[in-house]
Amino acid sequence: MASRKAYAYYLRGKQLALIEQDSVLGDGQTLTPPGLNDVGPDGSQLWKSPITAVTDGLEIEYVYSPRYRIDQAATTVACDRYTNSNGLLKIVDAGNGLPTSGVTHIVIDGSEKWNGLHTVNTLNAGYTILETKYNGGSVTEAFTVYTDVDVLNDESDEIDLPEYLAKALIYYVKAKIAEDERDMGAKDLLMKEFYAIIEKHESSKIWGARMIAPGPNAIR
């Protein structure tokens, strides 16, 4: 049976700091007492970097911007390593599955660091150099590369949004044009409409009355 753990996190720049409480409860029946160096007046010394390695132990749910669409989700290449090439990110596939022509953008998925859209610099047999900056060393990591990607860069591209939210986008672009023309009054008004549509779109998905329930320890 897996051990019960207690984690917490905080943010440091572009990184997430994961900490674990160093008091092992085993299967929930036994408590291993902490060492003398770990005991502080408030127990804060018990929080430290993760104590054990856990495969796929950390799960991050996040929102990303739909600047691209994956056309053929089945058109993927399994890569096994990334490294740097003159300061640019170089992804490597030992099986030579990466395309050698006709691809300008790729989407990486399943990487611990590089998920998302990347612009291609050079295509080669077995490796691809991207425009993404990277000056670290070689890292062995399995990740998936989608090569059939439609990027938002053309008039004929479909914006990947619900129709109602696309109306909000019209207000946003109008607001930016008003800002460029130094018409700040119009810009504020248009941004207000932009946020109003987003709020209405959010509210429309919630049925019934909205109530805030008192907490379990609230005075009644």
Residues 74-93 that bind other proteins (CB under 8 A): none
Q: Specify the residue, 15 or 101, whose C-beta has the smaller distance to other proteins.
A: 15
Count of residues of this chain found to bind other proteins when the rule CB under 8 A is applied? 82
User: Could you tell me whether strands 105-109 and 15-21 are parallel, antiparallel, or unpaired per DSSP bridges?
Assistant: unpaired
Residues in 33-52 that interact with other proteins by CB under 8 A: 40, 44-45, 47-52
What letter represents residue 20's amino acid? Answer: E
Within 10 A of 96 (CB to CB), how many other CB atoms are there?
11
Q: Is 153 in the site for other proteins (CB under 8 A)?
A: yes
Residues in 1-30 that interact with other proteins by CB under 8 A: 1-12, 14-19, 27-28
Provide, rounded to whole angstroms, the least separation between the CB of residue 125 and other proteins: 25
Among 97, 65, 89, which Cα is nearest to 172's?
Answer: 65
The Cα 146–Cα 83 span in angstroms is 19
Q: Is 204 in the site for other proteins (CB under 8 A)?
A: no
CA pseudo-torsion sign 211, 215, 218, 220? positive
The SS3 assignment for 83 reads strand
From the list 92-100, 119-127, 150-158, 212-220, the region that binds other proteins by CB under 8 A is: 150-158
CB 4 within 8 A of CB 27: yes
Provide, rounded to whole angstroms, the least separation between the CB of residue 153 and other proteins: 6
Q: Specify the residue, 57 or 95, whose C-beta has the smaller distance to other proteins.
A: 57
Provide, rounded to whole angstroms, the least separation between the CB of residue 219 and other proteins: 25
Q: Specify the residue, 113 or 125, whose C-beta has the smaller distance to other proteins.
A: 113
**Exposed, middle or buried by CB within 10 Å (0-12, 13-18, 19+), for 190?**
buried
Q: Which stretch of DSSP H or E encloses residue 184?
A: helix 184-203
Among 125, 173, 184, 196, binds other proteins (CB under 8 A): 173
Residues in 184-203 that interact with other proteins by CB under 8 A: 194-195, 198, 201-202
